[in-house]
Chains A and B, each alone.
Chain A
């Protein structure tokens, strides 16, 4: 039985949404801005009106107010109560439930330890960094031991370094707690790293629900494909270690250097936005750059997609429209492609795993 089930959910943003999230599953709700991700979380939490039915463990909760749904909700804005210190923020739900002082203190201590923020317990939110606020907000959401956890873009406001570190910790905490979680993001890589399954939402409708790599390699319609960004998938013939965590792979005739510490790489994926185009061969080490001929140019609403033939292979690159206009690119022109080293995704299994 699914832990959460949405049946024919509709409102002013969402349209006929049907979705099942299984017990202890981490489902990532992925979609662009304005797709209806937060609205769907608010519906599950009971914060806004909707038609249709939300079921927790098979029981409809549509008539339950948000305060009775046993939800832990981490808002995108975090919304830590500014007038309460960290410990009081975490203890808020426990005080509301009128737990005894001993129970309350024990629970708060446990959460402070779990989130590694013991030293912050008497600080006010205004004196916390972005990462610290994130931890406190998560601890507060977990305090009432909710049945379901809703995380709305929990890492979006953090710098890349903090986000990377916190992502790992968040995953550990969620694994440890084994709590059914819906995790909202618009970042494909984040989705891939966090999700058991991914649900793609566009225009208030669920477009595809599948394992992250299934979505990546087999988008089931044009909307998903457009959002994912039609990755360049390259099968690799051989893979050899160059030492110090660097490998060289040969993919469809292209020799590519990749930082990698695991098994043999069978496949790599490159998103079009992660390939730079240059009119000239830029200075620097001559690796992961290829000369090619432009075969087609396709403008989209905000970007321009350029297909470049490199050897026998065609690679798709994407750039913002104003950069394209500055570069004076035309079909048949010779250009250089540069691959963003850290954005190359590798798969050790032939199925893409």
Chain B
């Protein structure tokens, strides 16, 4: 039983290895239309090495990463602040909720044509798109988290001598953390999906733009490299926030 438990963490890699093995075999044994349209995993790996060594992948990745970090951080902070205010003050919630409800369902990429005309093609465009993509869901989750804190906790804190601001910071916000993290976790992955789409459509640099260039050159191996980078980054960001959530709330949830 103990040996099985020790083996457990390693087991996750087995399906991946099998998948990669089948991929390699399928490409090499010409089960697919050809190496050109379906490169082997080893070919993709080699291309990854070349793209990294010549700096193309690094530059593109860095461009996308900086945009995601700036847009996501700004959108999250703004969403958190607004969410806390709307969740805590019913008057402000009632005033702003109709506007938020109207804007929230618009997909982030839906803003692209408008923002291209307003901001032009430049760094502000993808950052703004990521900001919008992060802002509304995090605002919504934060406000819901704060608003749904059990009133009994608030009243207990009140009888224990806490001021409104103390109750907000020591009771409502910690108890809203699970909701807040749900928003952060989902939107961290979503930010990467959106930036790639935005770069494919409108921005000449970044991972998305690299994919579009590869498509015009019919370099499927490069496209797959970019997709793998995208998958790893989505997963890493989501896992980072899941880890943070467990660290902050795991003990008491």
Interface of A toward B, CB cutoff 8 Å: 42, 45, 47, 65-69, 71-73, 75, 77, 79, 81-84, 92-93, 96-97, 124-126, 140-141, 143-144
Q: Which of B158, B163, B170, B174 gathers most chain A CB within 10 Å?
A: B158
B81 within 8 A of A: no
Contacts of A67 in B (CB 8 A): 158-163
| Given A82-B252, A83-B175, A126-B252: A66 in contact with B158 (beta carbons within 8 A) | yes
| Given A83-B252, A124-B251, A126-B252: A73 in contact with B152 (beta carbons within 8 A) | no
10 residue pairs bridging A and B, Cβ less than 8 Å apart: A67-B160, A73-B159, A81-B175, A83-B174, A83-B249, A93-B160, A124-B251, A125-B252, A140-B156, A144-B161
Besides A79-B156, A83-B249, 8 more A-B contacts (Cβ < 8 Å) are: A45-B159, A66-B155, A68-B161, A79-B152, A81-B157, A92-B157, A93-B161, A96-B166
A47 and B159 contacting across the interface, CB-CB below 8 Å: yes
Shortest distance in angstroms between B228's beta carbon and chain A's nearest beta carbon?
39
Contacts of A144 in B (CB 8 A): 160-161
Q: Which of B150, B160, B249 gathers most chain A CB within 10 Å?
A: B160
Closest to A42 in B: B155
What number of A-B contacts does a CB cutoff of 8 Å give? 71
B159 and A71 contacting across the interface, CB-CB below 8 Å: yes
Interface of B toward A, CB cutoff 8 Å: 150, 152-153, 155-163, 166, 170-171, 174-175, 177, 249, 251-253
Contacts of A96 in B (CB 8 A): 157, 160-163, 166, 170
| Given A83-B249, A124-B252: A47 in contact with B158 (beta carbons within 8 A) | yes
The CA of A92 and the CA of B252, in the complex, are separated in Å by 16
Shortest distance in angstroms between A65's beta carbon and chain B's nearest beta carbon?
7
Checking B160, B175, B251 against A92 with a beta-carbon cut-off of 8 angstroms, the contacting residue is B160
A140 and B160 contacting across the interface, CB-CB below 8 Å: yes
Q: Which of B153, B158, B161 gathers most chain A CB within 10 Å?
A: B161
The CA of A77 and the CA of B159, in the complex, are separated in Å by 15
Shortest distance in angstroms between B181's beta carbon and chain A's nearest beta carbon?
13
Shortest distance in angstroms between B167's beta carbon and chain A's nearest beta carbon?
9
Checking B153, B174, B253 against A79 with a beta-carbon cut-off of 8 angstroms, the contacting residue is B153
Closest to B157 in A: A92
Contacts of A66 in B (CB 8 A): 155, 158-159
| Given A77-B152, A83-B174, A83-B249: A72 in contact with B159 (beta carbons within 8 A) | yes
| Given A47-B155, A96-B166: A82 in contact with B161 (beta carbons within 8 A) | no
Contacts of A73 in B (CB 8 A): 155-156, 159
The CA of A71 and the CA of B160, in the complex, are separated in Å by 7
Checking B153, B159, B166 against A81 with a beta-carbon cut-off of 8 angstroms, the contacting residue is B153
Contacts of A84 in B (CB 8 A): 252
Closest to A76 in B: B152
| Given A75-B155, A126-B252: A81 in contact with B161 (beta carbons within 8 A) | no
Closest to A65 in B: B158
The CA of A100 and the CA of B252, in the complex, are separated in Å by 26
Contacts of A140 in B (CB 8 A): 156, 160
Closest to B152 in A: A79
Closest to A124 in B: B252
